[in-house]
């Protein structure tokens, strides 16, 4: 009885160590996800972003954008990365209306979302 309990405890500890190790060191690869998985993944990580996050960190977390563009306004040169976050039409293509824009100046995130994009470029 005592030996069985000890084996069970050791097994649980090993399981917990493997689980914690996987959580700490495994990173999901957005490029290998289905479009539905990627939408969920992108929404999750975009929701965790902070103003001032460097572009390289966003690319590391989210992978390459679905669409990108660069524009200039009174702030200077602005890089916009569009990530797919919601489904609109089943046409096999990701269009801008299915994405969330992330806006960068000098490689630092300063805004995201449709409202921020429209406010920057509506003039």
* The dihedral sign for the CA sequence 82, 83, 89, 91: positive
Instruction: Assign a CATH topology to domain 30-122.
Output: Beta-lactamase Inhibitory Protein; Chain:B, domain 1 (3.30.1450)
Q: What is the DSSP letter of 31?
A: G
The arithmetic mean of pLDDT across residues 96-109, rounded, is 95
Alpha carbons 95 and 79: distance in angstroms, whole number = 18
- Predicted pLDDT at 67: 95
pLDDT tens-place string over residues 16-46: 777 776 666 655 677 777 878 889 999 999 9
Contacts of 105 (CB under 8 A, 6+ apart): 75, 76, 77, 78, 79
What's the pTM value of the predicted model, to 2 decimals? 0.73
pLDDT tens-place string over residues 44-93: 999 999 999 999 999 999 999 999 999 998 889 999 999 999 888 777 77
């Amino acid at each position: 009885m005592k030996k069985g309990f000890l084996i069970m405890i050791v097994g649980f500890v090993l399981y917990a160590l493997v689980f914690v190790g996987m959580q700490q060191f495994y990173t999901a690869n957005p490029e290998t996800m289905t479009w539905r998985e990627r939408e969920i993944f992108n929404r999750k990580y975009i929701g965790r972003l902070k103003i001032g996050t460097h572009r390289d960190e966003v690319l590391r977390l989210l992978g390459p954008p679905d669409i990108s563009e660069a524009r200039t306004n009174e702030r200077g040169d602005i890089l916009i990365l569009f990530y797919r976050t919601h489904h609109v039409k089943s046409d096999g293509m990701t269009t801008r209306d299915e994405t969330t824009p992330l806006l960068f100046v000098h490689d630092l995130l300063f805004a995201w979302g449709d409202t921020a994009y429209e406010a920057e470029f509506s003039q």
